[in-house]
Amino acid sequence: MEVSIHELLAAAREAVKSDYIKGESILCETRYHPDTHYMVEIEMLKTDNTLGKKGAYIRKFLTEDEYSSMLQKQEKHLIKIKRQAIVQKGNIAIYPSPGQAGPPPEEGYFLTGWERTGSVPQAAAV
């Protein structure tokens, strides 16, 4: 298992009990579940009993259906997706959130479909 510097930093913040992010740990079991395809870090814009209070910053590992639900919540302005990534076999490939400008990924990323603005990038077969 390879771990990026960003993952190591996130694990270090969690180890010292940094409270800035709620939700699932960067190395939680859900990340490695075969049905997990996405990771999102969201800011709550309104209180939601299923996710948390307004202003909370939360990390979640999601299935396809759960990710679609998050996109719908963002369209309703209940949440703001701050960071998102495709998860494949526990590996994380971070890409810009919807509406965020960013260059296409370099060679080695798992993403396709960067020309489709506003659509969900699909994970390429590895």
Indicate the helix (H) or strand (E) that contains 39. Answer: strand 38-44
- Classified as helix, coil or strand, 97 is coil
Contact 40, 94 (CB under 8 A): no
**Least confident span in 11-20, 29-38, 54-63, 109-118:** 109-118
What is the average pLDDT value for the chain, to the nearest integer?
77
Residue 125 has pLDDT above 70, yes or no: no
Tens digit of pLDDT for each residue in 27-79?
A: 889 999 999 999 999 999 999 888 889 999 999 999 999 999 999 999 999 99
Closest by CA position to 15, among listed 26, 6, 5:
26
Residue type (1 letter), 58? I
